[in-house]
Chain A
Amino acid sequence: MTARTHSTPWFLSLPGLIFFLGMVVLPLVLTAVLSFHAYDFNLGVRDTYTLSNYTTVLSDPYFLSIFWRTLRIAFITTVLCVMIGVPEAYILSRMWNPWRSVFLLVIIGPLLVSVVVRSFGWSMLLGSTGLISKASIMLGLGPVRILYSETAIVIALVHVMLPFMIIPVWTAIQKLDPGLESAAWSLGASRFTAMRRIILPQISLGVLSGSLIVFGLSASSFAIPGLLGGRRLKMAATVVYDEYMHELNWPLGAAIAFIVLVANLLIMLAYNRMIEARARKVLG
């Protein structure tokens, strides 16, 4: 009897456990092991172990600048997503059907299109012969080339990431008592003050969790920097790809991947602690 009650939970979670071990833990362990292997340009991956991959990455200004760019772009994307997504979620929550459903679809719809297709769309818009450049020429402002710049990457990332910000914020707003805002107005608060003093503190949890998702996904994004950043502007994921596919230096690529993973993990854990502290304050 006791044996059965003990084994049942394990048995029930077995499929998930196998999936998790096989799809997440095993590849991670293999990557970690690989990152400590030595590499020789003529002989390939050797069976000796070394820390040199890590020291190379962490001391090379080329790689460090890529890490720094990755963090910067992820951060800017997150800030822009907050600035655009929070008002958008608020407006969405104020809409009545059928408009609410229509606009929700407009926001979520892009997720149905492959990120590669969307990136190509942006590259057509942003290129030197693209629509934006042509419009600028027609206005007499001369050609603009946004493609293959950090701006292009940020624009496309914000576009892709917005739903991940809007949905948690929208959910938070849905949970609010609509009377709260009316109560603030009746006490003499302007719309703006009611928003700042009453609504924002209540939805801050949604904003923080949205930021966490957006930051994490942006920092590890691959297709967008790959297609819109061009050959020069590398981000963490694209440089890992380069090491694996062009340099064929798999151990070095694995080391970079691991450093990015750990850095991302640290930032997100720290951030998560902040969210939890905030949640304790708001929800008790």
Chain B
Amino acid sequence: MSFLTLNSLSKTYGNFTAVDAVSLEVGKGEFVSLLGPSGCGKTTTLQMIAGLVEPSAGSVMLDGRDITHEKPNRRGLGIVFQTYALFPHMTVAQNVSFGLEMRRIGKAERDRRVAEVLALVKLDRFFDRYPRQLSGGQRQRVAIARALVIEPPVLLLDEPLSNLDAKLREEMQFELRRIQQTVGTTTIMVTHDQGEALSISDRVVVMEHGRMTQVDVPAAVYDHPATEFISSFIGKMNNISGTALTSAIQSSGVILPATGSGAAEGEPVILSLRPERINIVPAGEGHLPGVVSARFFFGSHWLFNVETAVGLIIVSSPNTDRSLPPAVGQPVELAWAPESARMAARPQEVSRVEG
């Protein structure tokens, strides 16, 4: 039974279609991310759920109730804005308490709930601070606390981590997930950061040019991207064009093992291969010989650029102490399990609306 349902929700501005018939069912307590590049319509979708943008067509159902045209102050949804939108002239406690005041909840009850939620976001010592006296991460926590204190049926997060520096962002990702799992609120997060979407969501909705292109669990979106766009947008991907053989492709005179797609033999196909699925193996054991042209150290792993007969291939190897990593200029051979290499029909003349 879905808790929040979007029925072919659309938004057009003049001739421009910002959101094109988005349909989505979100279960109670689920954490769903809307992922896509800027201008893909993800924020507009969120604002239509929030009631800040009037949909051009379609409907929004919350717990069996049609809220498509309800005013934002009647929906009772918790929203965390990209800029946090904390009230600068109010203290942390006053900010958090504002939503409760609007619900005409008594002072004692208000104080209790504000204290409770501020403890949840670990800000119990900051009641009387003003937003300007807080760091970015602390403001973020206040914004979350303010949205959660009203016990909303759905929590909407608009690029919640984009204003934080890299280290803090990672920390807040886990923190966000912890808080969400503690309170169990159904959550929809808009993000352009694939790492963020994959790491903390139950499901990821990939959007492109106003349309949903894939809705799936994070691992499936990563391993089985539905379109070439998704495969290049999420993570790194080696794409090799060639012609289909049975469980292999032929490209530039090399035969590369692969699985997938019902493409008939001789048809043009694209082979997609994740860098971390490729192993560097001793000479004579691999499918594809090449020469290391550059290498980059990332601490937990190495990234190699390998020049091969089919072009530049990116390889990622974990930083284990077993052997020395190949040096630049060193000839190597690459190997992979056939099931890691997916073959898909090469898209012919895909027409796209530029947005």
Interface residues of B in 210-249 (CB under 8 A from A): none
When distances are taken between beta carbons in the complex, the residues of chain A under 8 Å from B86 are 183
Residue of A nearest to B102 (CB): A188
Main secondary structure of the interface of A (DSSP, over half): helix
Residue of B nearest to A183 (CB): B85
Among A185, A188, A283, the one with the most B-chain Cβ atoms within 10 Å of its Cβ is A188
Q: How far is the CB of A172 from chain B (nearest CB, A)?
A: 12
Q: How far is the CB of B328 from chain A (nearest CB, A)?
A: 49
Query: Does A76 make an interface contact (CB < 8 A)?
Result: no
Number of B interface residues, CB 8 Å?
A: 30
When distances are taken between beta carbons in the complex, the residues of chain B under 8 Å from A151 are none
Contact B89 A179 (CB under 8 A): no
Contact B99 A177 (CB under 8 A): no
Interface residues of B in 71-85 (CB under 8 A from A): 71-73, 75-79, 81-85
CA–CA, A201 and B130, complex, Å: 15
Residue of B nearest to A281 (CB): B89
Among B50, B102, B130, the one with the most A-chain Cβ atoms within 10 Å of its Cβ is B102
Query: Does B2 make an interface contact (CB < 8 A)?
Result: no
When distances are taken between beta carbons in the complex, the residues of chain B under 8 Å from A202 are 88-89
Known A-B contacts A186-B72, A186-B73, A186-B79; the reply to A179 vs B99 at CB < 8 A is no
Contact B133 A284 (CB under 8 A): yes
Residue of A nearest to B97 (CB): A187
CA–CA, A284 and B78, complex, Å: 28
Interface residues of A in 240-284 (CB under 8 A from B): 281-284
Main secondary structure of the interface of B (DSSP, over half): loop
Contact A187 B82 (CB under 8 A): no
When distances are taken between beta carbons in the complex, the residues of chain A under 8 Å from B103 are 188
Known A-B contacts A183-B85, A202-B89; the reply to A193 vs B72 at CB < 8 A is no
CA–CA, A182 and B158, complex, Å: 13
Known A-B contacts A284-B132, A284-B133; the reply to A182 vs B99 at CB < 8 A is no
Q: A177's contact among B73, B77, B78, B85, by CB below 8 Å, is which?
A: B85
Contact B89 A187 (CB under 8 A): no
When distances are taken between beta carbons in the complex, the residues of chain A under 8 Å from B76 are 188
Query: Does A189 make an interface contact (CB < 8 A)?
Result: yes
Write the residues of chain A forming the contact surface with B, with a CB cutoff of 8 angstroms: 177, 179-180, 182-190, 193, 197-198, 201-202, 281-284
Write the residues of chain B forming the contact surface with A, with a CB cutoff of 8 angstroms: 50-52, 71-73, 75-79, 81-89, 98-99, 102-103, 130, 132-133, 146-147, 150
Offer 30 A-B interface pairs, CB within 8 angstroms, sorted by A.
Answer: A177-B83, A179-B84, A179-B85, A180-B87, A182-B50, A182-B52, A182-B72, A183-B79, A183-B81, A183-B85, A183-B86, A184-B87, A184-B98, A185-B72, A186-B50, A186-B77, A186-B79, A187-B73, A187-B99, A187-B102, A188-B76, A188-B102, A189-B73, A189-B102, A193-B102, A197-B98, A198-B87, A283-B132, A284-B130, A284-B133
